[in-house]
Amino acid sequence: MSASKGHFSPSVISADVVSSLPAGYTIRPLEREDYHKGFFECIQVLTSTGDVSESRFLERYDYMKNLGVHYFLVIEHEGKVVGTGTLMVERKFIHDLGSVAHIEEIAIRKEEQGKGLGLKMIQALSSVAKNVGCYKSILGCSPENEGFYQKCGFKRGGLDMNQYY
């Protein structure tokens, strides 16, 4: 997409959101070096990741970068990844060939929770969704997190159905 360091151009993230983070915290596109900044440790507050080697991480990173529909963001503090979140753009035939954003993998390290960083992550992802032309964002969450997403401006939609393989 661009020659920038991360896996997409940071210009699609709202500058207002970027500048509103607490001092010492930055929000930016995922970078290859994040493997060594505790990326997996951070995301493990959400779910298991398996023991992923650096080469497998980089292979998936390059795959996502080349597809050009994934926007993986991280929040960094003191050289460590303390927050993650991603958005995938689905291009549709309905709504005049509209695009929908799917928000996933929102994780804030335990010791960093309650500081407004989750809200900043969602605001940043929502700004990306708007800037790349999506007409809505969709996410699924557990009942325990419904209040958080309501605070972020989401409303309950339909029923979430899953089939695991």
Report the interface residues with ligand ACO, using CB under 6 A.
Answer: 45-46, 103-108, 113-119, 139, 141, 144-145, 147-148, 151
Q: Which residue is nearest to ligand ACO (CB)?
A: 118
Q: Nearest approach, Cβ of 31 to ligand ACO (angstroms)? A: 21
Give 2 or 157: the residue with its C-beta nearer to ligand ACO.
157
Q: Nearest approach, Cβ of 21 to ligand ACO (angstroms)? A: 11
SS3 content of the chain, % helix, strand, coil (to 5): 40, 25, 35
Q: Do residues 81 and 30 touch, judged by C-beta distance below 8 A?
A: no
For 5, counting Cβ atoms within 10 Å of its Cβ (0-12 exposed, 13-18 middle, 19+ buried), the class is exposed
Give 64 or 108: the residue with its C-beta nearer to ligand ACO.
108
Q: Which two tokens stand for residue 68?
A: 């050009």
- Is the sign of the CA dihedral 137, 158, 147, 105 positive or negative? negative
83, β-bridge pairs: 75, 108
Give 7 or 109: the residue with its C-beta nearer to ligand ACO.
109
Give 51 or 111: the residue with its C-beta nearer to ligand ACO.
111
Q: Nearest approach, Cβ of 120 to ligand ACO (angstroms)? A: 7
The values of phi and psi at residue 59, to 5°, are -60, -45
Give 58 or 141: the residue with its C-beta nearer to ligand ACO.
141
Amino acid at 127: S
Q: Nearest approach, Cβ of 127 to ligand ACO (angstroms)? A: 16
Q: Nearest approach, Cβ of 96 to ligand ACO (angstroms)? A: 27
